[in-house]
Chains A and B, each alone.
Chain A
Amino acid sequence: DQQVKQNSPSLSVQEGRISILNCDYTNSMFDYFLWYKKYPAEGPTFLISISSIKDKNEDGRFTVFLNKSAKHLSLHIVPSQPGDSAVYFCAAPNPSNNNDMRFGAGTRLTVKP
């Protein structure tokens, strides 16, 4: 059990609108979360992170929200652009073995022009 879950395999949005990608986790000891973006034939690239002491982190068009009581985080992309079309992974270091990054299954985002 990876303990990080992304229950929506895919999401399609119109260019210029907001994209909201969701992630749930089961391990209350997770204290740091990351989002990675992956294009086809490329490795995942780091996008944005958030520490558990915060409930929001913003970087340009990307904002991550953390709700610790619900064990839920979300990535908001505003406005969405066609170049944002990729697979997005939510991830968290395993507090029992912090070299072990736990990943969700990913959500494929398609932004339509």
Chain B
Amino acid sequence: ETGVTQSPTHLIKTRGQQVTLRCSSQSGHNTVSWYQQALGQGPQFIFQYYREEENGRGNFPPRFSGLQFPNYSSELNVNALELDDSALYLCASSASTGGAYNEQFFGPGTRLTVL
């Protein structure tokens, strides 16, 4: 059974650019959640995708958007990057949309640096 994988591992962008981060969910999981973890803070919920539809969103602006594909893998897109977007981006997959009450399995994250 393959766990949650994310790519790339690290990424450096400049302010104003756009970035796409990718996540492959664990086998059998149809729900993917994305989190932003700034330095010294805990993860913050960005949004969740269930069966290719956004299914709940945290307090993030519309320039944070996502997609989920038929194989349940997912992308996080961030437009017009700002310095404060520098963070570790984590995705987590789960077997259904029982929300955060369902056990979530996290990937290792993508470290984004915005210069």
Contact = CB atoms under 8 A, between A and B. Distances in A.
Interface residues of B, number: 27
Interface of A: 2, 4, 6, 9, 32, 36, 41-46, 89, 91, 93-94, 97-106
A64 to B, nearest CB: 15
Contact of B55 (A2, A43, A99): A99
A80 B33 CA distance: 32
Contact of B43 (A9, A94, A103): A103
A97 B56 contact: yes
B42 A43 contact: no
B58 interface: yes
Contacts of B55: 99
A98 B97 CA distance: 10
Contact of A99 (B40, B42, B99, B107): B99
Contacts of B108: 41-43
B44 A2 contact: yes
A44 B98 CA distance: 19
Interface string B81-97: 00000000010100001
B44 A103 contact: yes
A113 B82 CA distance: 43
Contacts of A98: 56, 98-101
A4 B42 contact: yes
A87 to B, nearest CB: 9
B101 A32 contact: yes
B45 A101 contact: yes
B104 A105 contact: no
A67 B68 CA distance: 39
Interface string B54-86: 011010000000000000000000000000000
Top 3 closest pairs, chain A to chain B, by CB: A43-B106, A103-B42, A99-B56
A100 B42 contact: no
A100 B100 contact: yes
A99 B100 contact: yes
21 contacts: A9-B40, A41-B108, A43-B92, A43-B107, A43-B109, A46-B104, A46-B105, A93-B101, A94-B45, A97-B58, A98-B98, A99-B33, A99-B55, A99-B99, A100-B58, A101-B35, A101-B43, A101-B100, A105-B41, A105-B42, A106-B42
